[in-house]
Structure 1
Amino acid sequence: MTLKDPICAIATPLGKGAIGVVRLSGEGALEVASRVWRGKDPRKLKGGRFTLGEVVDPETGEVLDQALLLVFRAPRSYTGEDACEFHTHGSMAVLRRVLEALVKAGARLAGPGEFTFRAYMNGKLDLAQAEAVLALVEAEGDLARRQALRSLEGSFSRKIAALEDRLLSLLAHIQALLDYPEEGVEPLEARRVIGEVLEEVEALLAQARSSRLAQRGARLALIGAPNAGKSSLLNALLGYERALVSPIPGTTRDYLEAPLELFGIPLVAVDTAGIRDTLDPLERAGVERALRIAEEADLVLYVADRSAPRPSLPPLPPRTLKAATKADLPPLWEDAEFIPVSSVTGEGLGQLKEAIREAFLGRGEGEYLLSERQIEALHQARERLLEAKNLPEDLMGLALEEALKALASLRGRKEVSEEVVARVFQNFCVGK
């Protein structure tokens, strides 16, 4: 395998669809395309232009599909190479035959993430942007999409580059102080500069929680006494009827899960059995499961009916919000810790959603979607900066060099090992 031979892969998800895309890239890609294309010669087309024609088997001449061909000319392509895309009908039968035809014509099947790997190796993306491509492909909520897109556009890389420049300037100044003391180089406030860079690194690390939430999602457990309005509140949060609502206590004996996206965060909301003392073994099992779900959830929403006598609260995890339901009815009790909400009129739903958002994200959603590798590198940079800050200026150099190396690894610079690069691309799908 080389980094120049033509590679091909299906770029759209497996399954039926109106359109499917097969990618081809590499040295000689347009020559390969010309062997399977009946229409205008791909080798003579300008980049960025579609043309209509037919995909054919290069050995038998059989027409495989009518399609559009989109040509890209190096270096103005995703990979930085000559490339093209076949936009065919979206059945797997068509896509497989087109792929087979390209292999017969001289291409080979691409490995996972190989198109993006070539883009990285050809300088079209740095390592942080390559990770953002994967994050954008896998984004399940709008928060992950927004954060990944910022990194793909280069915002995160530019921030890291600015920190690298500051450390490089500081290192150069310290070296000048050591090598040419007689030249009268003015001492620099090294600790102030290190402190400022350290603040930036710690601000990025503070986004690790929102990154994990955006990528992995979270579980929100609704618990409370029977008939507290948990199922109605779940339906109100979802915006459609998912849970069965009944005035009969103990209707929900098992838990019910429903996907929910709030402020771009992918959540799984879990409606649980009403918590009360009961002799019914089936209901008791449901209560025990509800308490276990609450203990394992990322956030608990304790629900109580304020139009009924106030229930005694069970032991609650620290990560608990409290909602007082049926706010459209006259209350029998008030408590500032509870958010009044009505599943019928929608009163208080906005305030409750905002409280859920703040419980997960604090005051801000985070600007970037950080991978575990990036979080690890930022931690390494932080440790070395803290070390440098507590050393005399003449001994700061080595610690600063290590901090600089950790920061530079985020963009794929400064001796990034093949193992690290392989770890970044190992989770990519074929075709990306």
Structure 2
Amino acid sequence: MRSLRDPICAIATPPGKAAIGVVRLSGEGALEVAARVFRGKDPRRLPGGRFTLGEVVDPKTGEAIDQALLLVFRAPRSYTGEDAAEFQTHGSPAVLRRVLEALVQAGARVAGPGEFTLRAYLNGRMDLAQAEAVLALVEAEGDLARRQALRGVSGALSERIRRLADRLLDLLAHVQALLDYPEEGVEPHRAEGVIREVLEEVQALLASSRAGRLAQKGARLALIGAPNAGKSSLLNALLGYERALVSPVPGTTRDYLEAPLELFGIPLVAVDTAGVRDTEDPVERAGVERALRIAEEADLVLYVADRSKPRPEPPPLPWERTLKVATKADLPPLWEDPEYLAVSSRTGEGLWALKEAIRKRLLGEASEAVWLLSERQVEALERAKAHLEEALGAPEDLMGLSLEEAVGALNALLGLEVGEEVVERVFRNFCVGK
């Protein structure tokens, strides 16, 4: 691994033209590097948190590159815990590229992916779970993912994990005392009570992992039903605008149509599919087969049936992840079924209840307090869960070993005593400049 103390630099704003661009600089000697490329007040003499206006210049020729605001941070009160500076220039790609080149000529090197956050972790500014939350916040596409990632950055998940680890360490100390001094220690049934309480919290966190994944990565919502069941109208109603063509002619939709949608902060891709029925038309039959494949691959299926017409025979669907929807609730019904949510795309009746049902089916009963944000966190908690289950009912000596392993798994989630390969796995997905 390359040095993690030398000055590094990177463009921190996305590619493309913008009013403002930011170039970051951090590390030992960062302010000396900044002084070589900045014409104005000497960055080395500025207190932390102070802005100054000047020019970024070529360190070899003195040619002005751009006007810039320079913000200085003093260690340890910076994102990385090191001396750092940010140059706020015009957002031209040419300007940002030249500023970066100037910093490299002045003695910095271009940062690797996530190296600023890696230094923050190594310098004790955050733990590994918080670092993963930084990545989740950068990648958040929906408001729910943003809120969860921000909780992670603030340390809410880390604090909960620390509390669990502390409870197990206290218990481990008592169990060890019971082994060393039989007349002291904790009663076995009390030990089991603590283990069960911690295990329950671990299981609750694990139950949030699917919700966290869907909030972060999004979900696919497939609309399936017979021709003219109201799928396209329902899609338009969910979107709030006309995306799908609506026609009384059966078989209008012969292929699938996708549209992005956000419900309660969850990013979705809603898929309107061809009407499912027996047909001799080879094109329509291909559309029906594709619709059923889409249903199999979707995170949630809406089976749509028109209750103003005779009840259709449902197609084979993954019913464990299917919501049943009865459309055209504004018309007199020919059938009713309490398993179906009655909705009118024309009047909006039942639409809110349907959206709420979609949210519950996707997120389950997961509380919004704290969610797991990565597969690494899930793996660590799965190990902790397995060791806690081993500890239940075990003799004191074996219970102590299992508790030690459970604490180790919880600490690994926070990045304590983990190997270099784990740290590299976390940071390899970061963008350069973060």
Q: Which runs of 5+ in 1 are unaligned?
A: none
Q: What is aligned with 1:307? A: 308
Alignment of 1:176-187 (within 5 A): 176-181=177-182, 184-185=184-185, 187=187
Q: What is aligned with 1:27? A: 28
Q: State the alpha-carbon separation in 2 of the partners of residues 350 and 255 from structure 1.
A: 25
Q: What is aligned with 1:344? A: 346
Alignment of 1:412-427 (within 5 A): 412-413=415-416, 415-427=417-429
Asked whether the 8 Å contact 1:328–1:345 carries over to 2, the reply is yes
Q: CA deviation at 1:315?
A: 2.1
The AA in structure 2 aligned to 1:411 is L
Which SS does the other structure have where 1:378 is aligned? Answer: helix
Distance 1:275 1:41, change over 3 A: same
Q: What is aligned with 2:11? A: 10
Q: What is aligned with 2:285? A: 284
Larger mean Cα displacement after TM superposition, 372-381 or 391-400: 391-400
Residue 97 of structure 2 is aligned to residue 86 of structure 1:
no
Q: CA deviation at 1:160?
A: 0.9
Asked whether the 8 Å contact 2:220–2:299 carries over to 1, the reply is yes
Q: State the alpha-carbon separation in 2 of the partners of residues 133 and 266 from structure 1.
A: 19
Q: CA deviation at 1:93?
A: 1.0
Q: State the alpha-carbon separation in 2 of the partners of residues 108 and 118 from structure 1.
A: 15
Distance 1:186 1:109, change over 3 A: closer
Q: What is aligned with 1:405? A: 408
Q: CA deviation at 1:185?
A: 4.5
Asked whether the 8 Å contact 2:276–2:288 carries over to 1, the reply is yes
Asked whether the 8 Å contact 1:210–1:365 carries over to 2, the reply is no
1:193-240 deviation per Cα after TM superposition (whole angstroms, max 9, x unaligned): 111111111111111111221222111110111111111111111111
The AA in structure 2 aligned to 1:360 is L
Which SS does the other structure have where 2:361 is aligned? Answer: helix
Q: State the alpha-carbon separation in 2 of the partners of residues 100 and 303 from structure 1.
A: 58
Asked whether the 8 Å contact 1:327–1:341 carries over to 2, the reply is yes
Residue 197 of structure 2 is aligned to residue 199 of structure 1:
no
Asked whether the 8 Å contact 2:175–2:185 carries over to 1, the reply is no
The AA in structure 2 aligned to 1:423 is R
Larger mean Cα displacement after TM superposition, 338-347 or 348-357: 338-347
Q: State the alpha-carbon separation in 1 of the partners of residues 277 and 100 from structure 2.
A: 61
Alignment of 1:30-109 (within 5 A): 30-109=31-110
Q: State the alpha-carbon separation in 1 of the partners of residues 49 and 140 from structure 2.
A: 27
Larger mean Cα displacement after TM superposition, 278-287 or 113-122: 278-287
Residue 239 of structure 2 is aligned to residue 243 of structure 1:
no
Asked whether the 8 Å contact 1:128–1:151 carries over to 2, the reply is yes
Asked whether the 8 Å contact 1:144–1:369 carries over to 2, the reply is no
Q: CA deviation at 1:271?
A: 0.4
Residue 217 of structure 2 is aligned to residue 213 of structure 1:
no
Larger mean Cα displacement after TM superposition, 308-317 or 217-226: 308-317
Asked whether the 8 Å contact 1:220–1:299 carries over to 2, the reply is yes
The AA in structure 2 aligned to 1:35 is R
Q: CA deviation at 1:186?
A: 5.4
Asked whether the 8 Å contact 2:151–2:157 carries over to 1, the reply is yes
Q: CA deviation at 1:312?
A: 2.3
1:301-344 deviation per Cα after TM superposition (whole angstroms, max 9, x unaligned): 11122223322222222111111222222223222222111112
Which SS does the other structure have where 1:181 is aligned? Answer: coil
TM-score (norm 1): 0.96
Q: State the alpha-carbon separation in 1 of the partners of residues 238 and 185 from structure 2.
A: 64
1:6-44 deviation per Cα after TM superposition (whole angstroms, max 9, x unaligned): 100011111122211110001111111111111221112
1:111-148 deviation per Cα after TM superposition (whole angstroms, max 9, x unaligned): 11100010001000011101111111111112211111
Q: What is aligned with 1:331? A: 333
The AA in structure 1 aligned to 2:228 is N
Q: CA deviation at 1:365?
A: 4.8
Q: State the alpha-carbon separation in 2 of the partners of residues 350 and 99 from structure 1.
A: 50
Q: State the alpha-carbon separation in 2 of the partners of residues 200 and 67 from structure 1.
A: 50
Which SS does the other structure have where 1:261 is aligned? Answer: strand
The AA in structure 2 aligned to 1:418 is E
Indicate which of 392, 396, 399 corresponds to 1:393: 396
Q: What is aligned with 2:379? A: 376
Which SS does the other structure have where 1:396 is aligned? Answer: helix
Q: State the alpha-carbon separation in 2 of the partners of residues 29 and 203 from structure 1.
A: 44
Q: State the alpha-carbon separation in 2 of the partners of residues 74 and 185 from structure 1.
A: 45
Q: State the alpha-carbon separation in 2 of the partners of residues 354 and 153 from structure 1.
A: 28
Which SS does the other structure have where 1:136 is aligned? Answer: helix
Q: What is aligned with 2:171? A: 170
Q: State the alpha-carbon separation in 2 of the partners of residues 16 and 390 from structure 1.
A: 63
Q: Which runs of 4+ in 1 moved over 6 A?
A: none
Q: CA deviation at 1:398?
A: 1.2
The share of aligned pairs that are identical, in percent, is 78
TM-score (norm 2): 0.96
1:24-78 deviation per Cα after TM superposition (whole angstroms, max 9, x unaligned): 0011111111111112211121211222221111111221112211111111100
Aligned length: 430
Asked whether the 8 Å contact 2:164–2:198 carries over to 1, the reply is yes
The AA in structure 2 aligned to 1:75 is P
Q: Which runs of 5+ in 2 are unaligned?
A: none
